Amino acid sequence: MNKNAIVHARIEPNIKEKAEKILNIIGIKPSQAITMFYSQVILRKGMPFRVEIPNVTTLKAIKELDNPAELESYNDVDALFAELNS
């Protein structure tokens, strides 16, 4: 098979770096990962995962992540569940 098609894409450097570290750990080259993704798009005739517009609750949670200092934190799971059950 002649592999000479080129895909150009711009992504945030930190996303590229984090993804390539994971790919390296599992022994997959970025070009192989892209080929796998494209193959799944073809197989499924669409995205290989659900793509949805976030609801209000999810949007609020995403926005809260912009201010991590304001997020609740817990020392252990029991404290988290105690807060959730109150």
| Assigned domain for 81 exists | yes
What are the pLDDT digits (tens) for 4-20? Answer: 899 999 999 999 999 99
Q: What pLDDT score was predicted for residue 63?
A: 87
pLDDT tens for the 86 residues of the chain, in order: 788 899 999 999 999 999 999 999 999 999 999 999 999 999 999 999 998 899 999 998 888 888 888 888 888 999 899 888 98
The answer to pTM > 0.75 is no
Q: Cα separation of 33 and 39, whole Å?
A: 10
Number of structural domains the chain divides into:
1
| Assigned domain for 32 exists | no
| Assigned domain for 64 exists | yes
| Assigned domain for 6 exists | no
Report how far apart, in Å, the C-alpha atoms of 25 and of each of 12, 20, 38 are: 20, 9, 21
| Assigned domain for 31 exists | no
Residue 80: give the domain boundaries: 56-85
| Assigned domain for 27 exists | no
